Amino acid sequence: MIIPFFDATRLVKKTEAETNAAIKRVLNSGKFVLDEEVNKFEKEFSSYIGTTHGIGVNSGTDAIKIALKTLGVGTGDEVITVSNTATPTISAIRELGATPVFVDTDEYFLMDVRKIEAAITRKAKVLLPVHLYGQTADMVEIMKIANKHSLKVVEDCAQATGSKAGDKKAGSFGDLSCFSFYPTKNLGAYGDGGMILTNSKEYATTCRQLRVYGMQETYFANIEGFNSRLDEIQAAILRTKLPTLDSNNERRAFIAHQYLSKIDNPEIELPKIRNGNLHVFHLFVVKISKRESFIDHLKKNSIGFGIHYPFPVHLQKAYEFLGYKNGSLLNTENDSEKIISLPIFPELTDKEIESVIEIINKFKFK
């Protein structure tokens, strides 16, 4: 049996009728960009997360860029974030000419709140935690630190749609929060898409201008902006998928529970869930010291896997100029050598889950 790491076609097949109806509705309307479907999806999604405004944009990367620009971030400003993230978190900061400052990660692979204050300089403007793998960072503590130092907070929620810390959803804590609807995400489009959420009317107005060339009125640029629009077909598809997000996240949690309770190979370190968190398991990331040998075992047994991420951003060539070296962020670097992501997506069958567990439990380092 071949067990894929992710297979988008299973959901596509299951939801073909709804998807086709949504696409047809848009085609028949003759409105393809920033119209009724986007407006409705912005309202439905912001209400799902628990904020008052939603601004649909072209991608998660653009969401971060526009959120930061809304806060006035630009050249010379520092944005405090993590290196254990997808590169786009950092490329969005750099697109504005600002400098990312990295905080090491904790035992949950998230921004270590005990290390934030040491990273704050007079140039710091924003704290940008990343809710990686589906788990919310310690937002209560992060908001406290931000308030103490008069910093703004932008949440990168790309991997954590629907996750919670306490009774609040990721994306409802910060000044602005950013989501990605890239197809692999827990709420994925069939193309690119993203959203910025905020409770501030003023920020929402600025974000809306920034996504269309900085225009408030057609053909009149109020501020310097971008082209970052969410299209109607993606919004219509996302509207059909939003009502199933919670049940899909529950299925992910079920798979995670099976792995957590049945993988008992002493070579494997299972992921930890912070007290009070609802983890939505965008990824199921384990640690293993003998990764190469484990990878051979998975390949031999036709089990798909991923590594998120093999190269922490601060050690990538493009970011050498930031001046970080091997040893700058010890947890991040150690984890990057050991982490491996196992298959976890709602359409994985019970038989496949059992098979993954059985094969992993058979792994022995030779």
Ligand X SMILES: Cc1ncc(COP(=O)(O)O)c(C=O)c1O
Q: Which position among 109, 133, 173, 182 is part of the footprint of ligand X (CB under 6 A)? A: 182
Longest Cα–Cα distance in the chain = 67
**Cβ distance to ligand X smaller for residue 66 or 130:** 130
225 is a contact residue toward ligand X (CB under 6 A): no
Q: Which position among 38, 101, 158, 236 is part of the footprint of ligand X (CB under 6 A)? A: 158
d(Cα 28, Cα 22) in Å, to the nearest integer?
A: 10
**Cβ distance to ligand X smaller for residue 88 or 353:** 88
Q: Binding segment for ligand X among 55-63, 201-209, 271-279, 318-326 (CB under 6 A)? A: 55-63
What residue number has its CB nearest to ligand X?
60
Minimal distance in Å, beta carbon 89 to ligand X?
Answer: 5
Minimal distance in Å, beta carbon 356 to ligand X?
Answer: 23
Helix axes 201-211, 60-70, angle to 10 degrees: 120
Which structure tokens are listed for 268?
A: 């494997």
Binding mask 279-318 for ligand X (x = CB under 6 A): ----------------------------------------
Minimal distance in Å, beta carbon 294 to ligand X?
Answer: 23
d(Cα 41, Cα 56) in Å, to the nearest integer?
A: 8
Please measure the distance between the N-terminal and C-terminal CA atoms of the chain and give it in whole angstroms. Answer: 24
Nearest to 126 by CA among 78, 82, 187: 78
Binding mask 67-86 for ligand X (x = CB under 6 A): ------------------xx
d(Cα 290, Cα 329) in Å, to the nearest integer?
A: 21
156 is a contact residue toward ligand X (CB under 6 A): yes
d(Cα 323, Cα 82) in Å, to the nearest integer?
A: 15
Q: What are phi and psi of 111, to 5 degrees?
A: -50, 125
Locus of tokens 């809306």: 208
Locus of tokens 């998120």: 308
Q: Cβ neighbours of residue 297 under 8 Å, at least 6 residues apart?
A: 359, 362, 363
What is the number of other CB atoms lying within 10 angstroms of the CB of residue 150? 8
159 is a contact residue toward ligand X (CB under 6 A): yes
Q: Which position among 59, 99, 198, 341 is part of the footprint of ligand X (CB under 6 A)? A: 59
Minimal distance in Å, beta carbon 7 to ligand X?
Answer: 18
**Cβ distance to ligand X smaller for residue 86 or 255:** 86
Binding mask 116-135 for ligand X (x = CB under 6 A): --------------x-----
Order the strands of the 277-278 sheet from edge to edge. Answer: 168-169, 164-165, 277-278
329 is a contact residue toward ligand X (CB under 6 A): no
Task: List interacting residues with ligand X (CB under 6 A).
Answer: 59-61, 85-86, 88-89, 130, 156, 158-159, 180, 182, 192, 194
